[in-house]
A = this chain, B = another copy of it.
């Protein structure tokens, strides 16, 4: 299952890595792709949207919602 979410506040590769690690801390097998310019996080794996939201917000970024 793959889904994309709009996430605000990511401005550099450090941010992208932080979001990726936060999601993979909950589910290590999640595939996470970050598009910094578009402000999009695309995930493939077992987590649902609420779990992704919690991980993103826990890492200090603004989870806007699915796109």
Q: Which of B9, B12, B22, B59 contacts A11 (CB 8 A)?
A: B12
A34 to chain B: closest CB distance in Å?
Answer: 11
Is the C-beta of A15 less than 8 angstroms from some C-beta in chain B? Answer: yes
How many residues of chain A get a CB closer than 8 Å to chain B's CBs? 18
Does the CB pair A14–B21 fall under 8 Å? Answer: no
A64 to chain B: closest CB distance in Å?
Answer: 15
A residues 2-21 near B (Cβ < 8 Å) are 9-15, 17-21
A19 to chain B: closest CB distance in Å?
Answer: 8
A39 to chain B: closest CB distance in Å?
Answer: 11
Residues of chain A touching chain B, judged by Cβ–Cβ distance below 8 Å, are: 9-15, 17-22, 25, 58-61
